[in-house]
Amino acid sequence: MKVPIWFTNDLFKDALRAFFKNPDVEVTALNTQDAIPVGENYTSDLFRTTVYYKSGKHSKTETVSVIVKCGNEEGGVKEDLAKKLNLFEKEIEMFAKTFPAMYEILGDYYTLSSKCLYTSLNPHSIIILEDLTTLGFDVLPRQIGFDLEHCFLVVEKMAQMHAASVIMYEKDPSLVKLFSEGLYSDKPLTRQWVEAGYAGLIDACSRWPGFEKYGYKLKALGEQALQRGFNAQKRRLGGFNVLNHGDLWVNNMMFSYYPDRKLRDMRFIDFQMNIFTSPAIDLHYFIATSTKIQVKLDHIDIILDHYYAQLLANLAKMQYSLERVPTREQFKRDYNYRAFYGLMGAATVLAFVKVEAGRVDASFENIIKDTGKDGFRYHAYNNERYRKHMEHLLPYYDSFGILD
C-alpha cells in the first residue's frame, strides 16, 4: 500500500505528546511499512510505523513502534464500507469511552485490547495504536484455525468483555448508543456482499457430491436468506444483551506464549463492528470463522459450556444478580434461534479466511463482481480448505431447521 503523504512528523509528534503527556516530545524521523500482507484486511489500511523521537531538547533519541490504522481514500468498496457503517466512528468511541468504562469495571487495564495513542476523524480517519507484536503477541495463520486450547482462552476473554459491558450498560446506556448495528447492517452494500456470498456457496454446493441439497435449500429461500440472517442479530425485547466484538475472525485475535510455547495471553483487535445484542452473535461468528475442523466436529458444545460458565463467574465477581442471567437452557435456546447468523458468517467471512495467502485480488469488490472461473470469488468458494469446513457446517446449521 502507498503510505499517505499526511504521515508527517507533526502528526506523530501530536500523538506522542498526548500519549506520554509530555509537551516536549519531538519526532525526528519515521519509518513506515505495511503492517500486514495483501489480502489480510478488508476495511481499512494498516501500517506499522517506527517513530524516532526525543523526550526533550537534550534527550537521546528513542524509538517506539505503533500500528496506524487509516481509512482508505482511493474510492471503491473499502472506502464506501467504512463510511456507510461508520467504522472509524465506532472504533474511536470504543477507545475513547467504552474501553475506559469497561476496564474500570474489570479493575484490570488493557487486558482485552491494545493501548490507543491517538485518534482523529478529520481531515483523515486515523487511529494510532500500541504495536502488540513488541509485547510478544502475534496472529496465527488464518487458514489453520484455532484448537480447543486457543478457543477456551478466546471465550474466557469474550466472557470478560461481555460481562463488563452488562455492568457498563446498567450504569450508562449511552455508552452503547453507537453500537446498534454490526458487520451485517441491512444496507445496500452489505446486501450485495451477502448475496454474492450466498451465490458463491450455492454454486460451490453444486460441485460437492452429496451437498447439492444445501445449495437448493439456500437458493429456494431467496430473499428470505438475507432477511433471516439480518434478523438473527437483532435484540429481542427483554433479552440478555452484551457488547459483542462483532468480527471475531482469526486475524482479529493475537496470542502470546511462554518460552516453552505454552499459551500465555491474548488480545482482541479491530473494534469497528461492535454490536450490542445477544452474546450468541460473537459465539456463532467465532465458531464459524475461526475454529479448526476438529473443533467444529467435536467441541462446539464444550466451547459454549465454557463460555457460559465464564460469563456467570465474571458477572458474579462483579456482584451482578445471576437471577437476571439466562439459564443454560435459555442461553442454548437463544443460540439455536440465532443459528442463521453463523451460516451467514460461514457463507461470507469464512470464504475470505480460507483463501490462499498473498492473493492480490482478495477484496470485497472481487467477491461481489468477479464471477469468472479464474476470479477471487470462484477460488474463495471452491478451494479445498473452505469445502472441508462447509462439509461439516452445512449439516450443522441445517440441523437447526433454519434452511427449511
Q: How confident is the model at residue 51 (pLDDT cuts 50, 70, 90)?
A: very high
Q: What is the pLDDT of residues 254-284, one digit of tens each?
A: 999 999 999 999 999 999 999 999 999 999 9
pLDDT at 78: 63
Q: What is the pLDDT of residues 331-365, one digit of tens each?
A: 999 999 999 999 999 999 999 999 887 777 877 78
Identify whether the C-beta of residue 339 lies closer than 8 Å to the C-beta of residue 232.
yes
393 part of a folded domain: yes
Phi, psi of 4 (to 5 degrees): -60, 140
pLDDT at 64 over 90: yes
Query: Which percentage of the chain shows pLDDT scores above 90?
Result: 82
Buried b or exposed e, range 251-260, using 16+ CB within 10 angstroms: bbbbbeeeee
262 part of a folded domain: yes
69 part of a folded domain: no
pLDDT at 210 over 90: yes
* Cell numbers linked to 367: 467477491
User: Which domain CATH number covers 343?
Assistant: 3.90.1200
Measured CA to CA, the distance from residue 239 to residue 94 in angstroms comes to 23
Phi, psi of 260 (to 5 degrees): -85, 10
Q: Which residue has the higher pLDDT, 43 or 219?
A: 219
98 part of a folded domain: no
222 part of a folded domain: yes
Global model pTM greater than 0.85: yes
93 part of a folded domain: no
* Cell numbers linked to 59: 534527550
Total number of domains constituting the chain: 1
Helix, strand, coil percentages (3-state) for the chain, rounded to 5, are 50, 15, 35
Domain that holds residue 215: 138-398
Residue reference for cell 504495536 = 131
Q: What is the pLDDT of residues 92-118, one digit of tens each?
A: 999 999 999 999 999 988 899 999 999
383 part of a folded domain: yes
State the helix-helix crossing angle for 223-232 and 212-221, rounded to 10 degrees: 90
| DSSP secondary structure of 113-176 | S--EEEEE-SSS-EEEEE-GGGGT-BPPPTTT-B-HHHHHHHHHHHHHHHHHHHHHHHH-GGGG
Measured CA to CA, the distance from residue 18 to residue 7 in angstroms comes to 17
Local structure of residue 8 (DSSP, 8 states): -
259 part of a folded domain: yes
pLDDT at 218 over 90: yes
